[in-house]
Amino acid sequence: MVGVMSAREALAIAESRGLDLLEIAPTATPPTCKIMDYGKYKYENKKKDKEAKKKQTVITVKEIQVRPRTDAHDIEVKVRHARRFLLEGDKVKVNLRFMGRELAHQEYGIATLRRVEKMLIDIAIVETSPRVEGKQAFLLLAPDPVKVKEYLKTNAKPEAPLEPLEEEADEDDDKE
């Protein structure tokens, strides 16, 4: 804190110290300036931005295609894939495409999407309920962090304990 002074005086002080004069708040009365090393300031800001970027989570939207006449087993397989995507933290868009005469009976397609929704509601929240747009209907699901945590707690598969390799070698010797 040097106090209020003219721009020339502040610039002279900054140059005598081998630093830069930075205008922090130009709209303030009087304008606020700081004497600092500008290169170091830029470097530190770049490091902070890089660190913040590392901590960001990127959410991607994975798509799954179904048809109104898709068989139950095939839907279960696709739901398994969707479940894996949701557990990995990605959103899932379930696309249903109508072809030809299927457009006359869109209720079957909507029923298929509702069935998929019911199968995944234990780990997901519905962002966009089943909606028809032209020749397509779609459903958008997002992972619910609380439900995913509970699901992983209850459905965690215990790892099989590893057996020592020496015992296996001894058993092989006994067989010979």
Reading the block at residue 41, the tokens are 């300031």
Q: What is the pLDDT of residue 56?
A: 80
**Bridge-partner residues for 142, per DSSP?**
125
Residue in 61, 59, 19 with CA at minimum distance from that of residue 40: 19
| C-alpha gyration radius of the chain | 31
**pLDDT-wise least confident of 52-66, 78-92, 117-131:** 52-66
Q: What is the pLDDT of residue 6?
A: 86
Q: Could you give the domains of the chain?
A: 7-55 (3.10.20.80), 61-154 (3.30.110.10)
Sheet-wide strand order for 61-66:
61-66, 91-97, 136-143, 124-133
Cβ contacts of 76 within 8 Å, gap of 6 or more: 119
- pTM, full prediction: 0.59
Task: Flag whether pLDDT at 57 surpasses 90.
Answer: no
Reading the block at residue 164, the tokens are 């020592």
> What does the pLDDT average to over 136-140?
94
Distance between CA 174 and CA 29 in Å, rounded?
Answer: 92
The answer to whether 137 and 153 have CB atoms below 8 angstroms apart is no
Q: What is the pLDDT of residue 175?
A: 54
Reading the block at residue 128, the tokens are 């966009």
| Largest interatomic CA distance in the chain | 97
